[in-house]
Amino acid sequence: MAPGLYLVATPIGNARDITLRTLDILQQAEVLAAEDTRSLRRLLEIHGIALGDRPLIAYHDHNGARARPRLLAAIEAGQSVAYASEAGTPMISDPGFDLMRAAQEAGLAATSAPGPSAMVTALTLAGLPTDRFLFAGFLPNASGARKRTLGELGAVPATLVFYESPKRLDGMLRDAEEVLGAERQATVCRELTKKFEEVRRGSLSELAAFYGQNPAKGEIVVLIGKGEAAVVSETVMEDEIRTALETMSVRDAADSVSAKLGVKRRPVYQLAMKLAGQ
């Protein structure tokens, strides 16, 4: 195999969701690197690929700065290095970015062997428009920051795609209902490609009520459909206006906030006047 960095996508559940090219690369690369070396070992075993005496090097967010020079040196010395994240596509809410950029900056050959990713799989199953979508990864944990982010994203005319943990799903759906409106359509995709795969569609209020009663388990992608017209809660609007008023006149704050949130200017202006005490 030619020297270089080979990013490979690995299954997100079903071990057979792996491409022939990725299997070839895992079979032939002289050095293997993985976010989680145990997961990659298991995958090699399932597919009958012997590691042999090839090095298997851990590369993740916490040791990237130390492990990167070793991987780059291997490529510079003429070796092929395959990198896999724990599951799915490297760099999609996973490590790999710094490694790829460093390889490119060093003028080394680098390529990607595409394959599974939970975000694409969820989009194909959600029953929401896919002509335009925005992948936003994980939302902040704290409710205030989460609502602010949802407020900003809510105005984007596209299907929104989020990764979420089962512990936070209920709170996230309740915040989304408050910020984006009860009627906005959404889909929760759980355990994709696995035995208990589930796709549940409904309005944000229906989904919040369901998962409030039935706590979810497993891995989750939440997709939120495009709003008919941007619906933004008064709390979010007020927060944005207060921040804008720190540096702007009422008129400029109204322009800036209505553009940022994608809402009509008039109600923003009226609220800004009230908050500014005019």
Binding site for ligand SAM (CB under 6 A): 12-13, 85, 87-89, 92-94, 117-119, 163-165, 189, 191-194, 219-221
Tokens of 13: 């559940």
List the Cα angle 110/116/122 in 5-degree steps.
135
The minimum distance between CB 116 and ligand SAM, in angstroms, equals: 7
The minimum distance between CB 173 and ligand SAM, in angstroms, equals: 14
Residue of this chain nearest to ligand SAM (CB atom): 88
The minimum distance between CB 13 and ligand SAM, in angstroms, equals: 4
Looking at the Cβ atoms of 7 and 230, the one nearer to ligand SAM is: 7
For 153, residues 6+ apart whose C-beta sits below 8 A from its C-beta are 134, 136, 160
Looking at the Cβ atoms of 136 and 230, the one nearer to ligand SAM is: 136
The minimum distance between CB 186 and ligand SAM, in angstroms, equals: 15
The minimum distance between CB 26 and ligand SAM, in angstroms, equals: 17
Looking at the Cβ atoms of 94 and 178, the one nearer to ligand SAM is: 94
Looking at the Cβ atoms of 95 and 225, the one nearer to ligand SAM is: 95
The minimum distance between CB 9 and ligand SAM, in angstroms, equals: 7
Looking at the Cβ atoms of 191 and 255, the one nearer to ligand SAM is: 191
Looking at the Cβ atoms of 15 and 73, the one nearer to ligand SAM is: 15
